[in-house]
Amino acid sequence: MSTGAYRESYDRSMADPEGFWLEAAREIDWITAPTRALDDSRPPFYRWFPDGTLNTCFNAVDRHVAAGRGDQPAVIHDSPVTDAVTTLTYRQLLVEVQRAAGVLVAHGVGRGDRVIIYLPMASEAVISMLACARIGAVHSVVFGGFAPAELAARIDDALPTVLITATCGIERGRVLPYLPLVRAAVERSSAREPTVIVIARPQQVEPLQDHEIDWETALAGAEPVLACTEVAATDPLYILYTSGTTGKPKGIVRDNGGHAVALRRSMTEIFGIRPGEVWFTASDVGWVVGHSYIVYAPLLTGCTTVVYEGKPVGTPDASAFWRVLAQHRVSGMFTAPTAIRAIKKDDPDGVLLAGHDVSALRTLFLAGERLDPDTWQWATDLLDVPVIDNWWQTETGWPIAANPVGTEMFPVKPGSATFPSVGYDVRVLDARGTPVAAGVEGAVSIKLPLPPGTLQTLWGDDDRYVDGYLAACDGYYSTGDGGYLDDDGYLWIMGRTDDVLNVAGHRLSTGSLEAALAGHPAVAECAVIGVADELKGQVPRALVVLKGATQLDPAAVATLRAELVQRVRDEVGAVASLRRVDVVDALPKTRSGKILRRTMRQIADGVPAPVPSTIEDPAVLQALTEVLTSPSSS
């Protein structure tokens, strides 16, 4: 670490991306080493390491065993909800992955075939992902908190050969059966029915149906896959669906080669973690943070990764993370600001840290949503280690901006994610696509090409990729976030400029929630907005207009509200956390019929909300102001 090291690295990544990334690629074991970094022959579709071949699972598991790490813990599954801690060394992980790959092959999965993984935070989630990578199959992990309709949409898009699930997840002492959800999703889906492989958890014993296969039985009969399949660096490793503004999820496609290179590099150069160290990301494998920093980056680096099946609070209390840090001698931790806010709420003075020796911890990293300065200060004071904000998204797979502590640590400005990471040419643009001056807010954009490890396209939909991300300004990727660069070059992210919701670090689409509400027979139209929330950063609020001149008495309104909340739980999932529904007479719109969600959100959050000149009827907005600013529903 030396002064100027970041600037030197960053400038080189801009001036000589070819040399920079080919050098970074040396940290990966290739079958055929790439001779070229960037393939820019088909803009705006850029590809990295076009002539390289490798296997990601080999890099995450096999090579560490070969290099003498066989007896080092690879995965520690720490599960307060099942009261168990189990460790797999790299050698044991290799055996488990080889067997799981055998199950997939036995059920017809080959290179390029898709496998949906709908699992709680069990070791099998990691094993299944790596097993797919081993045979060149493409995994698509779906967050367990999503309801059947969301799972069905992903099945319809990915067309999986196999779906791996478990009999249940466990949420703060409650057993949540998964099979009814999976069966409903398969039923709803119009795709060919995948083979469903089920991990039987003792907390929920359930007889299987005809087309369902028991994981243990399948493992017993499977031939382990000893060799890793050679794939092109540009072949897809996974699809991860994320929310846009419409109800249809977007399948982010990640490659093998660029992903391995970028993630491996990020662990040492951004996060400052060395091979052999213990790393703990408290998130879920269903989100990108889980993909990148529970599974791939730590394993590609030869670290020990803690897979935690629990919550920051309530499993059993707000000391849960401190216990994990102490018990496993964790060097680096990553989570979402919401998790820290939840701990702070339950234990404002941090007294529960006492008795836990967290002295191995060097750094806490927070991302997934805006890190508010209060939370940053609280965590900094309590843990007495640098607390590092980093900003990125499912699409990019690794930080677009961070304080790169592994290269050089800069003074923290709370609320800023610090500087762009190597390879990211971040510009703030105005509505015409012109870069704005320092301190002026605009659309945070990245000049193409994006660096290795970022999305290649949307699964099966190049047009939507171009329209959704590249069309706003020629030659730039639009992040969907607004923000500014200050005079010192620090990047400040101010929030989404579209209608994407971010609830407790979980990204949700207004469109999915609105579709669920609109399906209720009494609803004529509706809008969902994300409003500020002390704990979850943002929570959804729904405004519904009823059909005809429906006049309901208070009891009927209460019933309707409960039905609408339930609909969202059933169609999107409990994780949407919709609690408040207001029945209103009309929704404010522009003359072209676009609902003014942003203006309503600003009013609800109490920030200045300029009335758009295109508004159809200002009286509608005026009438809503009271509802939007009122602390309880109308």
Residues that bind ligand AMP (CB under 6 A): 242, 288, 367-371, 389-391, 393-394, 417, 479-481, 493, 496, 502, 507
Q: How far is the CB of 174 from ligand COA (least distance, A)?
A: 7
Q: Is 312 in the site for ligand COA (CB under 6 A)?
A: yes
Q: Is 287 in the site for ligand COA (CB under 6 A)?
A: yes
Q: Is 338 in the site for ligand COA (CB under 6 A)?
A: yes
Determine which residue in the list 24, 278, 336, 527 makes contact with ligand COA, applying CB under 6 A.
336
Taking the alpha carbons at both ends of the chain, their separation in whole angstroms is 57
Contacts of 117 (CB under 8 A, 6+ apart): 125, 128, 129, 132, 139, 140, 141, 142, 163, 164, 165, 285
**Partners of 524 in the β-ladder:** none
384, HSE (Cβ side, Cα atoms, 13 Å): 6
Q: How far is the CB of 508 from ligand AMP (least distance, A)?
A: 9
> What is the rounded CA–CA span in Å between residue 580 and residue 465?
33
Tell whether omega for the bond before 44 is within 30 degrees of 0, i.e. cis. Answer: yes
Q: Is 144 in the site for ligand COA (CB under 6 A)?
A: yes
Q: Is 504 in the site for ligand COA (CB under 6 A)?
A: yes
Q: How far is the CB of 272 from ligand AMP (least distance, A)?
A: 18
Q: Which of 141, 132, 142 is nearest to 112 (CA)?
A: 132
Q: How many residues make contact with ligand COA (CB under 6 A)? A: 25
Secondary structure of residue 483 in the 3-state scheme: strand
CB 341 within 8 A of CB 376: no
Q: Is 505 in the site for ligand COA (CB under 6 A)?
A: yes
Q: Is 56 in the site for ligand COA (CB under 6 A)?
A: no
Q: In this complex, which beta carbon is closest to ligand COA, that of residue 75 or of residue 289?
A: 289
Contacts of 83 (CB under 8 A, 6+ apart): none
Return the H-helix or E-strand segment holding 64: helix 63-64
Binding mask 175-194 for ligand COA (x = CB under 6 A): -x------------------
With 0-12 / 13-18 / 19 or more C-beta atoms within 10 angstroms meaning exposed / middle / buried, residue 534 is exposed
Q: Which does 577 bind (CB under 5 to 8 A by kind): ligand COA, ligand AMP, none?
A: ligand COA
> What is the rounded CA–CA span in Å between residue 8 and residue 552?
66
Strand-pair category, 442-447 with 332-335: unpaired
Q: In this complex, which beta carbon is closest to ligand COA, that of residue 313 or of residue 473?
A: 313
> What is the rounded CA–CA span in Å between residue 110 and residue 101?
10
> What residues from 561 to 620 belong to the interface with ligand COA (CB under 6 A)?
574-575, 577
Quick one: which segment of 106-114, 201-209, 219-227, 336-344 binds ligand COA (CB under 6 A)? 336-344
Q: Is 375 in the site for ligand COA (CB under 6 A)?
A: no
Output the DSSP codes for 555-577: HHHHHHHHHHHHHHHHHT-GGG-
Q: In this complex, which beta carbon is closest to ligand COA, that of residue 375 or of residue 407?
A: 375
CB 260 within 8 A of CB 300: yes
Q: Which does 99 bind (CB under 5 to 8 A by kind): ligand COA, ligand AMP, none?
A: none
Dihedral angle computed from the Cα positions of residues 156, 157, 160 and 163, in that order, rounded to the nearest 10 degrees: -70
Q: How far is the CB of 165 from ligand COA (least distance, A)?
A: 12
Q: Is 147 in the site for ligand COA (CB under 6 A)?
A: no
Q: Is 399 in the site for ligand COA (CB under 6 A)?
A: no
Q: Is 339 in the site for ligand COA (CB under 6 A)?
A: yes
Quick one: which segment of 106-114, 310-318, 454-462, 538-546 binds ligand COA (CB under 6 A)? 310-318
Q: How far is the CB of 585 from ligand COA (least distance, A)?
A: 30
Quick one: which segment of 157-165, 263-271, 276-284, 537-545 binds ligand COA (CB under 6 A)? 276-284
Amino acid at 214: D
Amino acid at 10: Y
Residues of this chain that bind ligand COA (CB under 6 A)? 144-145, 169, 171, 176, 282-284, 287, 289, 311-313, 336, 338-339, 342, 368, 504-506, 535, 574-575, 577
